[in-house]
């Protein structure tokens, strides 16, 4: 999370990016973790105006898409949000329209999101996701 915040503050950290890239492996190959790595690397690549991790980002984004459920989401609302955010940042906006529809269909009557009940984290992540999607 610190790496993402550095990028949000326009602090370049190529050493941290290389560490993520070089140490990525099967132990980290989970949708949520991979999504966070894509987000961190994409934000840093954008900031540095480079394409250093382009192939890795594309391959990992395609892997995340392959793990999506037929209904458009992933196992949990929060994981789905992390995945969608990473995919938007990696340039896969067109591929996630079904996922956005899935998110919108899963809002609770209260206006909040969550797996079974209203959840402040899931709702916050969803609002960030929808805003990011609309800006892309």
Query: Exposed/middle/buried for 83, CB within 10 Å: 0-12, 13-18, 19+?
Result: buried
Residue 1 pLDDT > 80, yes or no?
no
The phi, psi pair for 56, rounded to 5°, reads -60, -45
Contact 103, 73 (CB under 8 A): yes
For the chain, the straight-line distance linking the first and the last C-alpha, in angstroms and rounded, comes to 22
**Residue 11 binned pLDDT confidence (cut-offs 50, 70, 90):** low
CB half-sphere exposure, 97, CA atoms < 13 A: 2
What integer pLDDT is reported at residue 48 of this predicted model? 58
2-135 placed in CATH 2.60.120.650:
no
């Amino acid at each position: 999370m610190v790496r993402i915040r550095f990028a949000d503050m326009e602090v370049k950290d190529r050493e941290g990016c290389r560490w993520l890239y070089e140490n990525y492996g099967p132990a980290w190959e989970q949708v949520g973790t991979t999504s966070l790595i894509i987000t961190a690397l994409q934000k840093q690549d954008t900031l540095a105006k480079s394409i250093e991790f382009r192939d890795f980002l594309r391959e990992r984004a395609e892997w995340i898409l392959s793990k999506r459920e037929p209904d458009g989401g992933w196992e949990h609302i929060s994981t789905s949000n992390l995945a969608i955010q990473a995919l938007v940042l990696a340039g896969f906006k067109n591929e996630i329209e079904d996922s956005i529809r899935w998110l919108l269909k899963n809002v609770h009557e209260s206006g909040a999101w969550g797996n079974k009940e209203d959840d402040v984290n899931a709702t916050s992540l969803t609002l960030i996701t929808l805003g990011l999607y609309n800006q892309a």
